[in-house]
Structure 1
Amino acid sequence: MTTPPSCVYVTHLVTPKYGSTEEECEDAVAVLPGCSHDDMLRGPLTAGVCDGATESALAKDWARLLSRAAAEFAMDRPDLLAGGPAFEEFAASAVAQWDPWLAQYTKARVEEGRPLKWYEHTKLTEGAYATLLTVRVDPVPDASRAPDTDIEASEPAWHWRAAALGDSCLFQLHENRLVEAFPVRSAEEFGTVPDLFGSRNHDAALLARRTRFAEGRCGPGDRLFLMTDALAAWFLSTPDQDGAVRQLLDFSGPSDLGGFREWLDGLRERRQLRNDDVAVVRIDFEGR
C-alpha cells in the first residue's frame, strides 16, 4: 500500500495503578476523530488528556467529561489553543456541563437505591479536579510553510498546538530523540500539587491565565507522545532516554494493552515508576 503524502496514525492506552480496576482509573483520554489505530488520518486531529485528582470526589468522571469537551472544542475552534477569549469560552462551557451531569448522576443513584450520603454531598460541593492537556494537529499546506522551518519544502509537514494546565506532558521526538517537552522540561519540575482545572471554577479568566500554550512543527518520522504525570516523570528522569523510547515504541495499538500493563508493573516493582494511573497518546507522522 502506498503511503499518502500526508499521513498520521494515532493510538492511546489508559491503565489504572497497580491494585485498582479499570473503573477506578482516574486518567482519561479523548481523541477525535474516533478511529482505529491503523487508520490513516489526513485532516485535523485533536486530543484531550486528563489526570483526575484523587482527593476530589468523582475525579474520574470529571476527567472523562473534561477530556472529551477539550477534544471537541479544539476540533471546532482551533483558536482555543492560542489562549485568550477562546480558551476562556471553552473553560466556561466545560464547567457548565458539570452540574447537569451531576444531576443525572444523583438521579441514577436514587433509582439504583444508592442515594448520595451526607458526606458525599459535602465533598461534591467542593467540585472535582483534574489536570488538562489539549493538543490539535493540522497538516500544513505547501504554500503556508514558514521559511524558517527545518522541514524540506518538498516534504509534508504538520503544525501542532497545545494547552496545558497541570503536569500532563507533550513530548516531540525527531529521529526518536527528544526535541521538545511541554509544559514540564525536567523531572525536577514535577511537584505534588500541580495546577488543576476545577469543575466548579467559574473564573474562566483565571483558568486561562494559569494555562500554558505552545506550538511546533513535525515532519515525516516525527512522533508526539502525550502522557500523564507518572509516565512523563519516568521518561524525563530515566538515564537511558534512547532505551526508554525503544520501550515505548513496543506499544502501538489497543492489542498491546496487556503487555503495556506488565511493562508498567515491572517499572513499579523496580521503583522506577510511581504507582499511579497512566494514560499515553502516541501520534506518528509519516509521508514521502
Structure 2
Amino acid sequence: MTRPPAYRAVRPLRVAVRTTAKQDRGPCENEDSAAADINAGRFALSDGASAAARAEVWSQLLTEAFVSGGDPLKSSTLSALRRSWRERVCAPDLAWYAREKLAQGSAATFLGVRVETSGYTITAVGDSCLFHVSERELVLVAPLTDSREFTRFPDLVHTSPDTPVPLEHVWSGGGPLRDGDVLLLATDAVAKYLLRQHRETGELPAILDHLADEEQFIEFITRAREHGLENDDSTVCAVWT
C-alpha cells in the first residue's frame, strides 16, 4: 500500500495538554511541565526528578525555552537557563536546610518536538517519549521503544554549571507526517504504561479518546493506575495534524 504524501501544513494543528500529579498530591506538587506553540509548531515536555530541588521550576524553564524558539541543550542557552533557575529559587530568607537542598541542584528529562512542513523532528534526553500514531497504528516511539527499557535512573539535564549534557545522552530523530496523524508526548509513567500495553496486546490504550478535558484524562489515569500505571506525575501533550 502506497503511503500518502508527507504532511504539508495546509490546516492548523490541534493540541491538548493534560497533566495530573501523583495520587494524593496537589497540582502544586506536580514536577512535570509541558508547553506548546501551535503557530511555531513547537511542543515540549519535561519530567522533573523527584529527588531534585525545585524540579518543577527547572522543567518549566526547559519547556518554555524550547517553545519560545530556543535550544535548551545548546551550551549558551543552557547556561542562561541555569542562571534563571538559581534566580527563581534562591531567596535570601530561605531556611538553612532549603539552601542546602538547592546547593545540590536540580535535574529533569527533556523532550522537544518541532512540526515542520515536511514532517517532524525530535530532541530528547531521558525517558519522556514521543508516540507517532497514524490511523490508530504506532508508527514510531522514541527515545525508548520498550517498557522494559525504563530504569530508576534516566539521563537528565542538570542545573549544575559543571554538569554538561553528554552527546551520547541526546537522542535526535524524526519522520514524515500525513494529515490525521497524531504525535503524543508523554512523561515516563504514561509512556511506560502505553508501551507495556502495546507489547502485551498489540494495541495502544485509547488515551487519545480521553483528552477532551482534564476530568476525562484524570479518569483515564486513575483506571490505568489500577492496571499497572505507576503512581507518578502523569503528563501528555497530543498534537493532531
Aligned-pair CA distance for 1:260: 1.1
Distance 1:91 1:22 in 2: 32
**Residue of structure 1 in register with 2:109 after alignment:** 131
TM (norm. structure 1) is: 0.74
What one-letter code is carried by the residue in structure 2 that aligns with 1:95?
Answer: S
Identical-pair percentage: 29
| Structure 2 unaligned regions, length at least 5 | 1-8
Give CA-to-partner distance per residue, 1:102-143, whole Å, 9 cap, x none.
334433xx5xxxx21222212211210000001100123xxx
Q: Would the aligned equivalents of 1:92 and 1:202 in 2 still touch at CA under 8 Å?
A: no
Match of 2:51 in 1: 55
1:118 is aligned to 96
1:207-226 matches, within 5 Å, as: 207-226=166-185
Deviation at 1:202, TM superposition (A): 4.4
Partner in structure 2 of residue 146 of structure 1: none
What does residue 127 of structure 2 align with?
167
Change (3 A) 1:220 1:22: same
Spell out the pairing of 1:135-150 with structure 2 (5 A cutoff). Answer: 135-140=113-118
Q: Which residue of 2 aligns with 1:8?
A: 13
Query: How many residues are treated as equivalent by the alignment?
Result: 231
Q: CA deviation at 1:203?
A: 4.9
Alpha-carbon displacement from aligned partner over 1:32-77 (angstroms, at most 9, x marks no partner): 14xxxxxxxxx54101200000101101111111111122235xxx
The one-letter amino acid paired with 1:10 is: V
* Match in the other structure for 1:30: 35
How far does the alpha carbon of each residue in 1:181-205 deviate from its partner, in whole angstroms, 9 at most, with x for none?
100011111111000000124454x
Change (3 A) 1:138 1:258: same
Point out 4+ residue stretches in structure 1 off by more than 2 angstroms.
4-7, 94-107, 201-204, 206-209, 239-243
- CA deviations 1:248-270 (Å, max 9, x no partner) are 122234xx211211221122133
In the alignment, what sits opposite 2:240?
Answer: 284
**SS of equivalent residue, structure 1 residue 102:** helix
* CA root-mean-square deviation: 2.0
How far apart, CA to CA, are the structure 2 residues paired with 1:219 and 1:12?
A: 21
Please say if residues 45 and 138 of structure 1, whose CA atoms lie closer than 8 Å, have aligned partners that are also in contact: yes
What TM-score do you get using the length of structure 2 for normalisation?
0.88
Between structure 1 and structure 2, the one with the greater Rg is 1
Q: Residue 42 of structure 2 corresponds to which residue in structure 1?
A: 46
1:225-262 Cα deviation digits (max 9, x unpaired): 00000000000001235361xx2122234xx2112112
The answer to whether the aligner puts 1:231 opposite 2:190 as a matched pair is yes
The answer to whether the 8 Å contact 1:17/1:275 transfers is yes
State which of 248, 269, 275 in structure 1 corresponds to 2:226: 269
Q: Which amino acid aligns with 2:20?
A: T
Q: Report deviation, 1:96.
A: 2.2
